[in-house]
A and B are shown apart, each in its own frame.
Chain A
């Protein structure tokens, strides 16, 4: 069974929402990433989204753009990201890992080769921001062969008809983009989430994660009342960017994540 499915099943059984931190692989230092992933798990993360750096991240705001540029400058390629996942898997065979990014690095790898190596490294899902389900047929076939879920996005602009079709094609969980905009923007309006989340639930039994604009304990707690998972990216990356050593980076993410975990759990009591 895919780790994403078993993790969400366990969370559902204990009435908890998934805390899903997003970090850009290799930022601020490629040799720290596996340790940072462990620190995230140690402070309450249920699933990890690992950003694959890309030169042209058109859906991302300045924080993740800068993280991508730093990682690329340090030579972080998709191959290196898979090595990082494999290193993480040596000590953690339970926490699901999802790669998030843009299609071209996978194109360069080749779909079959990528799926095989990602499966071997211990990747559980991939979310390609610039690859809607309509363009995914070939890649999906290869991912299926290695038990990797294609994670799909739903946005505030997604029509009801389309929600239905996305729900049919998605695996693992569905990622609901909370507002029209780029990652890290300050546009989250919790009141506008309830409607679309309820609509989406009519079309799927997959868990729903909400991301974009969630920055701290309050917004995370509020969203976890509605959704099965809460994604936090830009705010976490900003806090990581200031670290000057691996232990400091791990300490920082633990300090950042622990209060969010507590707030989310309290909101569900």
Chain B
């Protein structure tokens, strides 16, 4: 176990030149957008090995995002779970309250280097929208965020935050009026304004190079965690646990550990009302391979190949696809994927809040729920590291409504 082995590890998990992870990934976009993806790929691969660019990114992550985020030993949560020690990677402490900012800071810097004056983004829970509006404000760029009408109702506070930051939030009324439709609408905008517009995708999905780029910008989470575990605890965690919607926080944590063969990785999907119902958003657990939003990956569709409506209590996991690298990690067996229901996530939300004084995002609560379950089956000398990907302030309204409380 050494810090130096990270570089070698990352090399061996790179996709092929056109972004294929095994049979997954690729560039399934309309001809008009091919050039934009080529241009982005070229720029990204050029700047990510540029010292000045990387120095600016590192400085932004330190001074603007507030990195490194700590690893916290959740003593009382561990006691209640009864088993392995539970550690939390505190992405909830980042500026804007989630891991999403790691990616938007990187992409906004890239947009600047590419001379793009306008930023667009899609958002589900609103975290990525806020993170995009934030970096756009800071860089003096105009910003349009596409958000499903249903999500706008669920996440009123984040909508207002984006507006305060100067972004225009455009409601999406097509299809299921949620995240997948917001993506469609952002793609339609990009195809129309491709010359001056940079599309900041919020997760490790989409066409190449997005899955690689978003993963790399989030891999700071795993790199830090690995160093912190070695530096502070002189051990690697036995298991990594993270929630998976599109999968950016999970891949950010997992990727730098991929070469550590003894480290188990578990991605937790939203099982909604249960995997046996049709009311969930667990494409890896209960979906099948297909093509959506630019890549081949696991997704949820009906027998005619129409993408189906998904359900999760957490808007950020309510998406019918998943990043193609996760699809590959699943098929190769390197990572496991499980489901946690709305009710289990809600219980974990309350437990972490009351036991540790940390109010987790409903997305992250899925990871906490599974982490506790797993801890109970493990020995006290073992370590589970959970990515606490975001804080729950944005979800207070939702939790109150679910529990019949009027604020």
Give A residues with C-beta under 8 Å from B. Answer: 53-59, 61-62, 65, 69, 72, 77-79, 102-109, 129-132, 134-135, 152-159, 162, 166, 177, 180-182, 185
In the complex with contacts A154-B31, A177-B31, A135-B301 CB distance below 8 A: no
Contact of A135 among B27, B36, B175, B181 (CB under 8 A): B27
Bound complex: CA A130 to CA B35 (Å): 14
A residues near B34, Cβ cutoff 8 Å:
132, 155, 157-158, 162
Among A72, A108, A181: residue with most chain B CB under 10 A: A108
Stretch at the interface among B65-73, B94-102, B156-164, B290-298: B290-298
Bound complex: CA A157 to CA B31 (Å): 8
A residues near B293, Cβ cutoff 8 Å:
56, 58
A residues near B33, Cβ cutoff 8 Å:
157
Interface size for B (C-beta < 8 A) is 39
Given contacts A56-B180, A177-B30, 10 further A-B contacts (CB under 8 A): A56-B184, A56-B293, A59-B30, A102-B291, A104-B301, A104-B306, A108-B290, A154-B31, A180-B32, A180-B191
Cβ–Cβ contact B194 & A104, under 8 A: no
Would you give 9 A-B contacts (Cβ < 8 Å), ordered by A?
Answer: A54-B305, A59-B188, A104-B290, A105-B304, A105-B305, A109-B305, A131-B28, A152-B31, A157-B34
B192 interface hit (Cβ, 8 Å):
yes
Give B residues with C-beta under 8 Å from A. Answer: 18, 26-36, 174-175, 180-181, 183-184, 187-188, 191-195, 289-294, 299, 301, 303-308
A residues near B29, Cβ cutoff 8 Å:
130, 132
A residues near B306, Cβ cutoff 8 Å:
53-55, 72, 77, 104-105
B residues near A109, Cβ cutoff 8 Å:
305
Bound complex: CA A130 to CA B206 (Å): 12
Query: Closest approach, in angstroms, between the C-beta of B65 and any C-beta of chain A?
Result: 31
Bound complex: CA A129 to CA B30 (Å): 5
Of all chain B residues, which has the CB nearest A66? B174
Query: Closest approach, in angstroms, between the C-beta of B397 and any C-beta of chain A?
Result: 29
Cβ–Cβ contact A108 & B35, under 8 A: no
Bound complex: CA A250 to CA B194 (Å): 38
Of all chain A residues, which has the CB nearest B195? A180
